[in-house]
Structure 1
Amino acid sequence: MKTTFLLSTLFLLLTASFTRKERISTPIEKPPQNLNISFLLDLSDRIDPKKNPNPTMQYYQRDVLYMKSIVQAFLNHVKQKKIFKLNDQLQVFFDPAPKSPQINQLSQQLKVSFDKNSSKKSIITTEQIFATVPIKIYQSAIRDRHYVGSDIWGFFKNSVTDYCIKDQHRNILIIITDGYMYHRNNQFKKNGKSTYITPALIREQKLNTPDFQSVIKRKNLGFIAPINNVGNLEVVVLGINPSPNNPFEGDVIKQYWGDWFKSMGIKNYYLKTAELPSDLDPVLQKIILADKP
């Protein structure tokens, strides 16, 4: 009788142990993240194929294909989610707003959102819109030739928090620019730092030698931080295109941008040069579809 009792007790203990181990080892399914992706497009004369030609592929054509890669990754994310869990947005911004009525009208089509009421047809429609509308915007800007620069610094100061950050979302801002920052309405300096960077400024500060980093540190050079504590924003800069006259120009530009993001509390950022879209596509897919907390 005693032996039977001991065997029964041992069996119960082993069963409980295995059950507990199975329960512990069962992975907890992580809820799908909500994406909030914003584009900030630089429609300055950098896109002009006459002023800045590239025989391999014009820069405005690269921009359009960069956008296509991002949008495809976004839509792949949407397709993987259950309909009732959809809460994802995609939008395009300019700063300043283009004066062209056609561009403004076209850009309205580039603000899309998906929620539990969205249909599969809306996904197809979004693919079609982003396959045709961005190229029309660039062609219109090039045809008008009213280049007023891109106020990226002003966008961060006045708009990024309101336009690009949503609660309970993974917020990603895609900036497509050549890396130089300049706008005629935002040009000032403070304690060595500035709101802009141009080839002339780089030459003026003698940032054309291997020790450019020590020069930046000694002179306290860089961008002025217009805001702080935006750690819930990720930024991807695409299309950096430094002047070939200075072998360190690209490194200087990336140093400025990287230091700027850190000063604003942005931890996750990516700085990419104007590579061929086919080469950059898998990189962008990986960034957008990364499983961030």
Structure 2
Amino acid sequence: MKTMTKSISGILKVLCILFITSCCTKETPSEIPDDNLPKIYDYNVLIVPDLSNRINPEIHPKPLNDTLLINTIADHIDNLLKIKSRQMNQLDIYKFDFINRGILNQHIANTEDLEINFRKFKDQAQEASHYKRHDLKPDIASFKNNIAKVYDYSLAHSAGSDVWNYFNQNIKNSMINEPDKKVEIAKDEFVITGTRNIAVLFTDGYIESANNSSGLRLDQDLIKKIRKEFVSSGSVDLEKFILSKPEYLIRKTSDLNQLNVIVFEMVDRSLDKNGVTTVQPTDFEIMKIIWKKWLKDSGAAQVEIYPALTNKTEAYEALKKFMEEIK
């Protein structure tokens, strides 16, 4: 009986030790899966306007000019640098990019004045801090001034705007493609760092490409056809109806898996001058489904699409929220 008691006592001691050991064992940060580590991103923000005749208020009036919205974003760069509690060593870029790169050949603006680039301060924290305090605001003023020159020129020299080809080829020249890194910031404390590319596209949503081959256009004729066939079908689910018709969809571009896209200023031509819906479904409802399908199929990680904005701060607020949600 004593032997049995000793055996039970020994077993209980072992179990107690195992329990205490399991409770006290902690996973060190270096052993934590990367998905569970804090993530600190820099952002490569490309401001990309469709500079076709959509910017002419006499042809296509809309509540606010692009420049008001872009200027408000630029004026809040110092706030965007702080999203997700970033405090220092941010390597963001805020750059005006061209769909029609032929405009660059006209030397309307100095390309260096069309971006605010913090990557030049890599490993130079003190210089970056000095720049933010003393030189950022003057550079933003120059940034806005040069964008105004581009818009003035584009208003006087209307040209096409091949959005599809921009995403298929040109945008790659402006993207930063670097693998994320696991960085030790203190003993056994790690974070994931990397860069996220964002295209901030200003467009009315109508794609009237010079190349009118199948899958490269989304003009009013096609939208009217989709609307008519949807109504005739008796379907109640617009998205399901559109996605079941491959002939409606925009052909996907080359891989955009390093890109996030936010689209502003889709001006709905199916509304009257007072903004009242004249037909159902509206142009915007149809375009939003097709654009999202196109960009997602092309590999874009995150996509948001907005109609024409009525308050100049809305673009900044939407972009800030978009950046905060990027994974």
Which residue does 1:180 correspond to in 2?
A: 206
What does 1:6-25 correspond to in 2, within 5 Å?
16-20=21-25, 23-24=26-27
Stretches of structure 1 lacking an aligned partner (at least 5 in a row): none
Cα drift, residue 77 of structure 1: 4.1
Gaps of 5+ in 2: 1-5, 180-194, 232-237, 273-277
- Cα distance change of structure 1 residues 250 and 135 upon mapping to structure 2, 3 Å threshold: farther
- Structure 1 residues 67 and 230: alpha-carbon distance in aligned structure 2, compared to 1, 3 A threshold: same
In structure 2, which of residues 49, 60, 66 is the aligned counterpart of residue 41 of structure 1? 49
Match of 2:167 in 1: 156
Q: Which residue of 1 aligns with 2:69?
A: 62
- What is the deviation of 1:131? 4.4
Q: Could you tell me which residue of structure 2 aligns to residue 121 of structure 1? A: 130
Look up the match of 1:264: 298
Separation in 1, partners of 2:264, 2:198? 13
Q: Secondary structure in 2 aligned to 1:33? A: strand
Where do 1:135-146 residues align within 5 Å?
A: 136-138=146-148, 140-142=150-152, 145-146=156-157
CA 1:266/1:217 → structure 2, altered by over 3 Å: closer, same or farther? same
Distance in 2, Cα, partners of 1:218 & 1:238 = 26
Q: Secondary structure at the match of 1:277?
A: coil
Deviations 1:232-287 (A, max 9, x none): 21111111111025541011211221121122122411111122233444332121
Deviation string, structure 1 residues 214-249 (Cα, Å, up to 9, x no partner): 36744611222231x322211111111110255410
What corresponds to 2:185 in structure 1? none
Match of 2:251 among 217, 221, 224: 224
The CA RMSD measured in Å over matched residues stands at 3.5
Change in Cα spacing, 1:132 to 1:287, as seen in structure 2 (3 Å) is same
SS at match of 2:287: helix
Cα distance in structure 2, aligned partners of 1:41 and 1:199:
20
Instruction: Please name the residue that 1:242 is paired with.
Output: 268
Q: Deviations over 1:174-201 (max 9, x none)?
A: 1111212235xx32213xx22x323344
Q: Is the 8 A contact 2:109 2:150 kept in 1?
A: no
**Structure 2 counterpart of 1:74, from 77, 80, 93:** 80
Q: Show the counterpart of 1:133.
A: 143
- Give the 3 Å change call, closer, same or farther, for CA 100–135 of structure 1 in structure 2: farther
Using a 3 Å threshold, how does the CA distance of structure 1 residues 78 and 178 change in structure 2: closer, same or farther?
A: same
For the residues of structure 2 that align with 1:107 and 1:177, how far apart are their CA atoms?
24
Shift of the 113–238 alpha-carbon distance from structure 1 to 2, 3 Å rule, reads same
Which aligned pairs between 1:101-116 and structure 2 lie closer than 5 A?
101=106, 103-105=108-110, 108-114=113-119, 115-116=122-123
- 1:148 partner amino acid: A
Q: Separation in 1 of the partners of 2:67 and 2:60?
A: 10
Give the aligned partner of residue 254 of structure 1: 288
The one of 209, 220, 233 equivalent to 1:199 is 220
- Code of the residue aligned with 2:291 in structure 1: it is W
Distance in 1 (alpha carbons) for counterparts of 2:66 and 2:114: 23
Structure 1 residue 32 displacement after superposition: 1.4
- Closer, same or farther in 2 for the Cα pair 1:58/1:108, shift >3 Å? closer
Whole-angstrom distance in 2 between the partners of 1:208 and 1:138: 40
Q: Secondary structure of 1:104's match? A: coil
Taking a change above 3 Å as real, the CA distance of residues 14 and 221 of structure 1, as seen in their structure-2 partners, is closer
TM-score of the pair, normalised by structure 2: 0.69
Aligned length: 276
Bigger radius of gyration among the two: 2
Q: Which amino acid aligns with 2:24?
A: T
- Contact 1:173–1:234, Cα closer than 8 Å, also in 2: yes
What is the rounded CA distance, in whole Å, between the counterparts of 2:141 and 2:228 in structure 1?
Answer: 40
Structure 1 match to 2:59: 51
